[in-house]
């Protein structure tokens, strides 16, 4: 009698389990690596960039000022089974970049971390260090000229100081320069190759030697760098050499994609149109 009474329940349960398994397999297929480099710039306060390498490893550069927004964005872009980050980088230990990364470290194991050369103690920084210490993650200081290669993608530290850093991510003939936390003295440096994309502070004048030397194909303006003297320029006046301009307030989530030969940008605003 027990077996007979259980059989209708089992007959209903088995198809549901099959649907769940099929859904998980479909999701895994959709989230598989596609052999391209992806740089996600989510809509949130402060600055954060999530990088996916061609084989599916992940790097987090800064974390923004809104922990919940960052964790939500990472949940959308990382496969559901992925609980590890190959690298985290903090370009400036401030409230515009560190809070979100602390939240990410509480959920993801990290293989390696990079921070500015002089780190002042504080509650946020202590929480960041404790989260890394829990998994015995090695922490190294950023230094000019440093290079790290992960899955065919190379991270260059072009320059840095205690307040910010200038980074370049290379993949084949394409590259992204992260200048969103760079201080004015760092922005005076000249680059040695053209950039496909530069992430640049809205608060700085784009008509600068750095931008001219990079000759970017596209510029994503960032609000994470705070200053009292924001240049009063329109979007049109910020155009440099025909570069396409983006800002999360206008374009929503921004995704830069490269196959190593060419690169293109997709935004969430485009996706809903």
Contacts with 118 (C-beta within 8 Å, 6 or more apart), sequence order: 162
Which residues share a beta bridge with 200?
221
Same domain, 13 and 52: no
The pLDDT of residue 2 is 46
| Average pLDDT of span 1-12 | 58
Question: 178 to each of 33, 90, 128, 213, 222, how far by Cα in Å?
Answer: 23, 12, 22, 14, 10
**Among candidates 49, 66, 67, which has minimal Cα distance to 58?**
49
pLDDT at position 84 over 60? yes
Same domain, 127 and 57: yes
Question: In total, how many domains does the chain have?
Answer: 2
Same domain, 199 and 239: yes
Of the ranges 185-189, 200-204, 210-214, 256-260, the best mean pLDDT one: 256-260
Token code pair at residue 88: 């985290």
pLDDT at position 11 over 70? no
Same domain, 147 and 21: no
DSSP state of 155: E
Same domain, 127 and 211: yes
The pLDDT of residue 208 is 82
Same domain, 19 and 127: no
Same domain, 25 and 38: no
Same domain, 110 and 20: no
- Band (1; pLDDT cuts 50, 70, 90): very low
Chain segment 131-147, per-residue pLDDT in tens: 999 999 999 999 999 99
Same domain, 101 and 13: no
Which residue segment(s) compose the domain that 157 sits in? Answer: 33-272
- Band (40; pLDDT cuts 50, 70, 90): very high
Chain segment 211-263, per-residue pLDDT in tens: 888 899 999 999 877 666 667 777 778 888 889 999 998 999 999 999 999 99
Of the ranges 7-16, 81-90, 156-165, the best mean pLDDT one: 81-90
Contacts with 150 (C-beta within 8 Å, 6 or more apart), sequence order: 53, 57, 59, 86, 87
Same domain, 109 and 174: yes
Burial of 146: CB neighbours in 10 Å, binned 0-12, 13-18, 19+: middle
At residue 234, what are phi and psi to the nearest 5 degrees?
-75, 170
Residue 263, H or E segment: strand 263-267
The pLDDT of residue 3 is 46
Sheet holding 244-247, edge to edge: 147-150, 153-160, 165-171, 174-178, 197-201, 218-222, 244-247
The pLDDT of residue 22 is 58
Indicate the pairing of strand 37-41 with strand 254-258: antiparallel
pTM of the model: 0.86
Same domain, 43 and 4: no
Same domain, 80 and 199: yes
The pLDDT of residue 190 is 64
């Amino acid at each position: 009698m027990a077996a007979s009474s259980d059989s209708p329940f089992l007959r209903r349960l088995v198809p549901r389990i099959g649907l769940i398994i099929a859904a998980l397999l479909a999701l895994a297929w959709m989230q598989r690596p596609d052999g391209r480099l992806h740089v996600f710039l989510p809509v949130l306060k402060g600055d954060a960039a999530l990088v996916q390498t061609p084989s599916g490893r992940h790097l987090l550069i800064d974390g923004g000022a809104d922990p919940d927004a960052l964790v939500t964005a990472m949940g959308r872009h990382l496969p559901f089974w992925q609980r590890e980050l190959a690298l985290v980088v903090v370009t400036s230990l401030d409230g515009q970049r560190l809070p979100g990364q602390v939240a990410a470290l509480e959920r993801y194991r990290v293989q390696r971390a990079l921070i500015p050369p002089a780190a002042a103690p504080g509650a946020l920084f202590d929480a960041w260090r404790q989260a890394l210490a829990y998994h015995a993650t090695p922490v190294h200081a950023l230094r000019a000229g440093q290079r790290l290669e992960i899955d065919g993608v190379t991270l260059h530290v072009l320059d840095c100081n205690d307040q910010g850093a200038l980074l370049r991510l290379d993949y084949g003939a394409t590259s992204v320069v992260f200048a969103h936390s760079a201080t004015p003295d760092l922005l005076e440096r000249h680059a040695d190759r053209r950039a496909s994309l530069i992430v640049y502070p809205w608060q700085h004048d784009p008509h600068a030697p750095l931008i001219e030397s990079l000759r970017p194909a596209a510029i994503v303006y960032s609000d994470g760098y705070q200053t009292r003297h924001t240049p009063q320029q329109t979007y049109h006046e910020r155009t440099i050499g025909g570069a396409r301009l983006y800002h999360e307030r206008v374009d929503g989530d921004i995704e830069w994609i490269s196959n190593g030969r060419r690169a293109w940008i997709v935004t969430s605003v485009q996706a809903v149109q």
